[in-house]
Structure 1
Amino acid sequence: MLSYRHAFHAGNFADVLKHSVLSLVLDYMTRKEKGFCYIDSHSGAGMYQLADEYAQKTGEYKNGIAKIINDVNAPQALEPYLSLINSLNLNSELDIYPGSPGVAKAFVRRQDSSHLFELHPSDIHHLEDFCQRWRKVFVKQSDGYKGVLGLIPPPSRRGVVLIDPPYELKEDYQKAVSTIVKAYNKFSTGTYIVWYPVVKRHFIEQMEKDFTNSDVKNLLQVEFCLNRDTEEYGMTGTGLFIVNPPWQLASQLEEVLPYLKDKLGNNDSKFTLTQLIAE
């Protein structure tokens, strides 16, 4: 199945959480001069126009990034993320929103390399166009799960891996976890980020069990739910599993999560931050 298009959802509350965390992780990686490798398993188009028919049809960004982009009182931990979004929208209008490759491009340096995987026949062309002037980036229209495992461990022995499937198929929940576990067994010092939607709670509970039954250590789980769990169709929340997070990430998220609940949430909204597996 290749029907999913992230353009419908660009800049929504799930993107705000995912990309603010990715920004913090990549910002941390650049504090050392030695290069690192960024690997993105499901890259999408790279950059999105919020004025196009896809984003306008759902308007999800209006209840996401649009609510915080100009907030001068946003917590310091959101500065890398919000500065990036503002730099792309210099005319003060919110017209452009980056996908995960767009976030990565803002942080990687000439000594860093990036590997982007995407299968969708339309998005891969947009991604290739986006990457034309990006040095040391490698774009492939192939299976991102296999792509990740083929690149681990990177020559620099420093790496950030983002697993961000659309979860069109329920098998993606298990595949996302098993790919990280296999990669960790080959390269235990890398930082791995797995994004997930909260649609059916039992899928998330199974991911947690699969991780805790593996050899993975130092796993942080963050979740932000707009609404209570339900058996009805639709995403009520979003979360991330982060293996080997930067040492200060948990404390940064302690600032970010209450802020996002206040700005984007409602009376039913909640967040959790859990060290699911110890170091």
Structure 2
Amino acid sequence: MNYRHAFHAGNHADVLKHLVLVNLLEAMARKDSPYFVLDTHAGRGHYLLASPESRKTSEAAEGVLKLFGQPPLHESIERYLRAVQSHNPVGALVAYPGSPLLVAQHLREQDRLAACELQPEETQALRELFARDARVAVHGRDGYSAIKALLPPRIGDTKFGRGLVLIDPPYEAQDAEYPQIITAVREGLTRWPNATWAVWYPIKQRRTLLPFFRKAAALPARSIWLAELQVRPDDSPLRLAGSGMLMINAPWQLEQAIAPALPVLQRLLGETGATTRLEWLKQPD
């Protein structure tokens, strides 16, 4: 595995993914009962935007940096920007928080995070980041195997009836990744049926995703919808046109918080031919 997220931190895909994640976490915190988060592909958790990797691609300049300095935007976007800003000096953006850091930021005393990462260097950085946070456990292991090993979650005497599984793989071998995701989510739903599942996926040519969507729609879940941001037309398989979030058993009305943000992101981050989509694959009864 050669993927390093440092080259892509803060890009348009991170904006969509983390905007959905932050609003999801805030929705989960509205209930007093504890929740558990499993992040299957956590990365190192914190990225400097002046690093050689980030400067080589300048992807943050076409992503999160375009949102800062704008007049007040939709509240769901402002929640995301506040979460990112809290890890930076006031009025500046020098670092970008990855998903485990954003999750930890929202955890209450009773909540827990298990962050999985296979690459040893990234795992070590993650352990150092959370060395003093007893709410976070870092696992140097395959995230898909963790679904079997850690679900349903129980820590001490606490059984977690609700929570989130975030699946955000590098998609280095896409033909193998999508079936693996479907298998993992199906297995996980049998173990922890009340959990919310959030799956990030890249868009290069959207028509190639249709088999994945058909199989996702057949999963034994209460509700399934997807939110997409394409910053350019998907007419080249060599460029990342956009990305999406597949949401399974999402909190009630979360889609209503996300939908108004999508055209704003399209306007601010998109090129000519940019599009957005929020589509139900399975609506709740």
TM bracket (short chain): over 0.9
Structure-1 residue corresponding to 2:156: none
Q: Distance in 1 between matches of 2:187 and 2:129?
A: 30
Structure-2 residue corresponding to 1:266: 271
Report the aligned-residue RMSD.
1.3
Displacement of 1:127 in angstroms is: 0.8
User: SS at 2:194's partner residue?
Assistant: coil
Displacement of 1:251 in angstroms is: 1.2
Structure-2 residue corresponding to 1:58: 57
Query: 8 Å contact 1:69–1:86 — kept in the other structure?
Result: no
**What amino acid is the match of 1:19?**
H
Alignment of 1:7-26 (within 5 A): 7-26=6-25
User: SS at 1:122's partner residue?
Assistant: helix
Moved more, 124-133 or 2-11: 124-133
Q: Distance in 1 between matches of 2:237 and 2:92?
A: 35
Structure-2 residue corresponding to 1:42: 41
Q: Distance in 1 between matches of 2:220 and 2:22?
A: 27
Structure-1 residue corresponding to 2:166: 162
Structure-2 residue corresponding to 1:240: 245
User: SS at 1:268's partner residue?
Assistant: coil
User: SS at 1:88's partner residue?
Assistant: coil
Q: Distance in 2 between matches of 1:81 and 1:183?
A: 28
- Dislocated runs of 4+, deviation >4 Å: none
Q: How high is the TM-score relative to the length of structure 2?
A: 0.94
Aligned residues, how many? Answer: 278
- Does residue 192 (structure 1) correspond to residue 197 (structure 2)? The answer is yes
Q: Distance in 2 between matches of 1:80 and 1:135?
A: 25
Deviation readout 1:115-156 (Å, 9 max, x if unpaired): 010011211111111111212211111110110232222222
- Does residue 218 (structure 1) correspond to residue 228 (structure 2)? The answer is no
**What amino acid is the match of 1:178?**
T
Query: 8 Å contact 1:37–1:160 — kept in the other structure?
Result: yes
Stretches of structure 1 lacking an aligned partner (at least 5 in a row): none
Structure-2 residue corresponding to 1:277: 282
Q: Distance in 1 between matches of 2:280 and 2:217?
A: 11
- Does residue 253 (structure 1) correspond to residue 272 (structure 2)? The answer is no
Query: 8 Å contact 2:27–2:254 — kept in the other structure?
Result: no
User: Which among 165, 170, 183 is matched to residue 178 of structure 1?
Assistant: 183
Q: Distance in 1 between matches of 2:241 and 2:271?
A: 12
User: SS at 1:275's partner residue?
Assistant: strand
Alignment of 1:135-150 (within 5 A): 135-150=134-149
Q: Distance in 2 between matches of 1:71 and 1:12?
A: 17
**What amino acid is the match of 2:267?**
D
Structure-2 residue corresponding to 1:104: 103
Query: 8 Å contact 2:225–2:280 — kept in the other structure?
Result: yes
Stretches of structure 2 lacking an aligned partner (at least 5 in a row): 154-158
Moved more, 163-172 or 198-207: 198-207
**What amino acid is the match of 2:260?**
E
Q: Distance in 2 between matches of 1:59 and 1:235?
A: 14
Query: 8 Å contact 2:41–2:167 — kept in the other structure?
Result: yes
**What amino acid is the match of 1:106?**
Q
**What amino acid is the match of 1:121?**
P
Determine what percentage of the aligned residue pairs are the same residue.
33
User: SS at 1:38's partner residue?
Assistant: strand
Q: How high is the TM-score relative to the length of structure 1?
A: 0.96
Q: Distance in 1 between matches of 2:206 and 2:191?
A: 30
Displacement of 1:178 in angstroms is: 1.7
User: SS at 1:71's partner residue?
Assistant: coil
Q: Distance in 2 between matches of 1:89 and 1:72?
A: 19
Structure-2 residue corresponding to 1:121: 120
Displacement of 1:21 in angstroms is: 0.4
Deviation readout 1:216-265 (Å, 9 max, x if unpaired): 33001111111112243121110010011121211112210010001101
**What amino acid is the match of 2:13?**
A
